[in-house]
Amino acid sequence: MDTVTEHELLTPYDIYLFKEGKHLKLHEKLGSHPTQVDGKDGTHFAVWAPNAKHVSVIGDFNDWRPGSIALEDQDHDGVWRATIVLPEGTYEYMFVVDGERWVPDHLAERLVADDFGRENSVVIVRAARR
């Protein structure tokens, strides 16, 4: 699994609109979204965590290991993001904020109950049409 961070689904204009409270399609920018980077299928993850010091995405694609896929807040705008290459499939995931708060993605298409009384978010990775 490769982590690719140079892909930009969230533009500076998106962040500007978000901060102004005027972004009408934020659901298309935050959460998880299929994308392609360097010809590989991937998923872009983004979450707003303005006071966080560290955010990661965990799921069955990385054996639920916190910190193994770190998101970045390069602009210090509170939006943490990363794009990872994932094989085609259906995956459950959550965000981990500061190593202790496990947060589902409420913008995900689907949430499913887990064995701990919480809900996991679901992302479906489909092979891109070529």
Domain boundaries, the chain: 3-125
Q: In 3-state terms, what secondary structure has residue 81?
A: strand
Residues near 110 by Cβ (< 8 Å), separated by ≥ 6?
121, 122
Strand residues in the chain grouped as ranges (E): 3-4, 31-37, 40-48, 55-59, 79-85, 89-97, 101-103, 110-113, 119-125
Tens of pLDDT, residues 70-122: 999 988 888 899 999 888 899 999 999 999 999 999 888 899 999 989 999 99
Written as six digits, the tokens of 45 are 């993850």
Residue 26 confidence (pLDDT): 65
Residue 124: which of 63, 38, 61, 70 has the closest Cα?
61
33: pLDDT confidence band, cut at 50, 70 and 90? confident
What letter does residue 12 receive in the DSSP assignment?
A: H
| % residues pLDDT > 90 (the chain) | 42
CATH topology (fold) of 3-125:
Immunoglobulin-like (2.60.40)
Which pLDDT belongs to residue 5? 42
- Which range among 2-16, 27-41, 61-75, 82-96 shows the weakest confidence by mean pLDDT? 2-16
Cα-Cα-Cα-Cα dihedral sign, residues 58, 49, 54, 7: positive
pLDDT of 6 = 41
* Closest alpha carbon to 124 in 31, 47, 37: 31
Burial 4-23 (b: 16+ CB within 10 A, else e): eeeeeebeeebbebbeeeeb
pLDDT for residue 3 is more than 70:
no
pLDDT mean across residues, the chain: 83
